[in-house]
A and B are shown apart, each in its own frame.
Chain A
Amino acid sequence: MEKAKSKRSFVPANYSQLLIPLIAIFLLVIFNLIRDPGFFSIGIAANNNGYPVLQGNLVSILNGASELVILSMGMTLVTAASGGQDISVGALAAIAGSVFVKVLKSGAITGWSVIGGFILCCIVAMIFGAFNGTLVANFRIQPMIATLILFTCGRSVAYWINGGATPTVESPIITAIGSFIPGIPIPTPILIVIVTGIIFALIFRFTNLGLYVQTVGINQGAARLNGINSVWIKLLAFIILGACCSIAGMINVCRLSLINHETILINIEMDAILAVAIGGNSLGGGKFRMVGSVLGAYAIQMLTITLYAMKVPSTDVKAYKAIVIIILVVLGSPVVKEALSRFWNRLSRNRQPVRAGKGAE
């Protein structure tokens, strides 16, 4: 035992899955610092309303990633429980956003109507989540196929809700949610992410959601024999993702002060899935770490901002993004991981005094 200890991998197994997103973020930070030492400097400047607020690339990365981070949290749960992905999150966010706008447009925009609008759009999104969940859990349709339905029709549903218009919603309250609350220098979406994160932390602390989801994802049969209702757990995961969609939709609507059902959070489902994967979570379900997905989401956003900062034309950004992602995914692959750990073992062995007797080769 003692001997084996020296060969233990250099990161505790529990945290090794966070290695890839952390390396990605680290490399991006180094790259940006070399390119522009002032890249991450944070300044305080007055915004349009005259309040002092934080500004800088770091702020815009954290701010811009908000929707993605929230969606990737929910996506982690769905992935872990069902062993598949929900590709309808963008469409569902469009529906939720449309419901939100519909409520706001029905009268004067007050604090109460915003709260009411959010609650209603949250409920609607959770119902759609439950619809996806039922298809997956009760009818045992593959998640990607099941959610393909909503992926296909979601934006049309969003179109109907507001009668085909792309209404704008303008109000100080909306601006407060989408950018800054007067007096607080931190962008509100970042605060919403923090609140969402805390809620998830509390859920994991005070319920068995984590244990149940992992159990169901790893071995559904055994979960049943231990008294876990796996149908209900999968359904719950989709409902929670639905709630995440409504938060993301609301943030985006407030950020832009309008809803365009065709473009709101378009293609975000793929980034959310990618965040889960970069975070070291198996897309086949089972064990998960939500922190990994969150870091993955920030890494993706940091990459995007970096590319924009390098003046890469927006038409080319996706191609460059793809290159970096290929590298990340290959780095995180079992083959490379194994090779790296072998390399590390050899290094650590060489560092020890040469033992008497025969060598390894």
Chain B
Amino acid sequence: MEKEVVLTMRGICKSFPNVKALSNVDFTLRKGEIHALMGENGAGKSTLIKVLTGVYTKDEGEIRIDGIRDAISIRSPQEAQNYGISTVYQEITLCSNLTVAENMYIGRGTGATVKWREMEKQAGKLLDSLGIPARPKQQLGSCSLAVQQMVAIARAVDTDCKVLILDEPTSSLDDKEVGMLFSLMRDLKERGVGIIFVTHFLEQVYEVSDRITVLRNGELVGEYEVENLPQVELVAKMMGKELEGLAVIKKDRQTDRSDAEVLYEAQDLSSTQSRPFDFHIDKGEVNGFTGLLGSGRSESVRAIFGADRVTGGKVKMNGKSVKITKPIQAMKQGIGYLPENRRQDGIIADLSVRDNIILALQVMKGFFHPFSKAQAEAFADEYIKALDIKTASSDTPIKSLSGGNQQKVILARWLLTHPQYLILDEPTRGIDVGTKTEIQKLVLKLAEEGMSVTFISSEIEEMLRTCSRLIVMRDRKIVGELTGDDLTQDHVMITIAGGEK
């Protein structure tokens, strides 16, 4: 029972200077299906989407869409829209200061005048029929992120939409909101819209998708029915190798740390963003802060590094009292900090990979002691090799690397300073499975070599795999500490949920 095909892409090729982003990729979308597009970072997902939406023009290949006999060429997002291809991006691209109805119809009028009443009626009807809990006259900014996302989708589907592209729509939503979004997606599917679903979350793919197309290194790996592709196999296909390690890396080292020396100790440490807390970490220990978003876990590690203004507390490093109120002081004490928000706080977008790698060490060395070009080059090459950073050269601006590789560059930046204590806040967010595993392995290896690491991740399994001690936070307070046999998902959940000691 082959369903009617709505979109075919054949032999799509696209190159950028230095990189072949897509080579000979095929993609088929049928009416009324949810089709997941999977691949690691740099696999070519976004490029394919951008070719389809007219942001990039393809070098070779043909695109056909249901209802038009000839192959079409899409030169701009507006043209894509006219062909019935709509996109909703990860970041919400609507205006939060306008009303829901205005957002749905803005820029779509044909005349110079706007029929407000008509518009609101139409919007109301559409919202009702899609079951979106928003009123037309409500200001968009007052809706939750999920509802805003849904409004964006409503806007997209209202224009005779055949193909709806959802690019990482769930990355900033919580579970309940994801559920709402999925039911909307299923609803649209019933109406015959073909949906392309791009995401990093494997579970979500299996929850809603009918079919999966996997890309790797700009090439098509294959198209599969969801039922015929177990999760492990999907991951293997995305990575291009059998899934080694991911399940295997488990703390086989015993967590008896009674004789370990304390490296860092904080008493009543507080910053403008965090409440006073006590914390310590041993030499060679990997521990982690866990808790829900907003529980204060990031704020706590930022206080340790002096990233926010420190307002009080005593800090000891190797048993000696030290003052850490600014990042530079923390760096001088041998502390490194990989920030949660890579784009905003991590990368220096326009600078080269080389400059991004040497930055922290260079700052520590001082304003009047720049590294020679050869020395900087040597450092960069060493870490590009060690961490297997995929970049055209060390001169390439970091912004043209994929997310996972950018993260590796930031990691390299701190490893180059040879810290005694490394804080990693969400090092694996938004990056591909392969790199995630690499980073987790790296953390354990560093600890083995005597480095202390504090690790934060939204994915509990990841924390359980890497940390030997978990500090659980709720409402900006530490509510528990789990070690040894207590390190199970259930225990963490219960502690987060309110088993206050």
10 example contacts (A-B, Cβ-Cβ < 8 A) are as follows A4-B16, A206-B368, A207-B370, A208-B369, A209-B367, A211-B351, A226-B360, A226-B363, A227-B360, A360-B59
| Whole-angstrom CA separation of A9 from B17 in the bound complex | 7
Given contacts A218-B351, A225-B345, contact A360 B60 (CB under 8 A): yes
Of the four ranges (under 10, 10 to 19, 20 to 34, 35 or more), the interface on chain B belongs to 35 or more
Interface 1/0 per residue, B287-311 and A, CB below 8 Å: 0000000000000000001010000
Q: A219 contacts the other chain (Cβ, under 8 Å)?
A: yes
Most buried by A among B327, B337, B360, B395: B327
6 additional A-B residue pairs with CB within 8 Å, beyond A1-B20, A4-B18, A226-B331: A4-B15, A207-B367, A207-B370, A218-B348, A227-B364, A361-B73
Q: B355 contacts the other chain (Cβ, under 8 Å)?
A: yes
Contact call A227/B395, Cβ cutoff below 8 A: no
Q: B19 contacts the other chain (Cβ, under 8 Å)?
A: yes
Question: Using Cβ atoms and an 8 Å threshold, which residues of chain A touch B349?
Answer: 218-219
Contact call B355/A358, Cβ cutoff below 8 A: no
CB distance from A78 to the nearest CB of B (A): 18
Question: Using Cβ atoms and an 8 Å threshold, which residues of chain A touch B363?
Answer: 208, 212, 226-228
Q: B9 contacts the other chain (Cβ, under 8 Å)?
A: no
Q: A76 contacts the other chain (Cβ, under 8 Å)?
A: no
Q: B130 contacts the other chain (Cβ, under 8 Å)?
A: no
Contact of A286 among B339, B350, B395 (CB under 8 A): B350
The 4 closest A-B pairs by CB, nearest first: A227-B328, A227-B363, A287-B350, A208-B370
CB distance from A356 to the nearest CB of B (A): 12
Q: Which residue of A lies closest to B10 (CB)?
A: A358
Contact call A219/B348, Cβ cutoff below 8 A: yes
Q: A3 contacts the other chain (Cβ, under 8 Å)?
A: yes
Interface 1/0 per residue, B316-347 and A, CB below 8 Å: 00000000001110010000010100001111
Q: Which of A162-209 contact B (CB under 8 A)?
A: 205-209
| Whole-angstrom CA separation of A215 from B344 in the bound complex | 13
Contact call A211/B60, Cβ cutoff below 8 A: no
CB distance from B16 to the nearest CB of A (A): 7
Question: Using Cβ atoms and an 8 Å threshold, which residues of chain A touch B344?
Answer: 219, 221-222
Q: B11 contacts the other chain (Cβ, under 8 Å)?
A: yes
Contact of B15 among A7, A219, A227 (CB under 8 A): A7
| Whole-angstrom CA separation of A296 from B86 in the bound complex | 44
Question: Using Cβ atoms and an 8 Å threshold, which residues of chain A touch B369?
Answer: 208
Q: B402 contacts the other chain (Cβ, under 8 Å)?
A: no
| Whole-angstrom CA separation of A1 from B328 in the bound complex | 40
Contact call B17/A212, Cβ cutoff below 8 A: no
Contact call B370/A206, Cβ cutoff below 8 A: yes
Q: A321 contacts the other chain (Cβ, under 8 Å)?
A: no
Question: Using Cβ atoms and an 8 Å threshold, which residues of chain A touch B161?
Answer: none
Q: Which of B20-59 contact A (CB under 8 A)?
A: 20, 59
Question: Using Cβ atoms and an 8 Å threshold, which residues of chain A touch B359?
Answer: 211, 215, 226
Q: A214 contacts the other chain (Cβ, under 8 Å)?
A: yes
Contact call B17/A225, Cβ cutoff below 8 A: no
| Whole-angstrom CA separation of A9 from B18 in the bound complex | 10
Q: Which of B174-223 contact A (CB under 8 A)?
A: none
CB distance from A164 to the nearest CB of B (A): 43
Question: Using Cβ atoms and an 8 Å threshold, which residues of chain B touch A7?
Answer: 15, 17
Contact of B345 among A1, A218, A221, A227 (CB under 8 A): A221
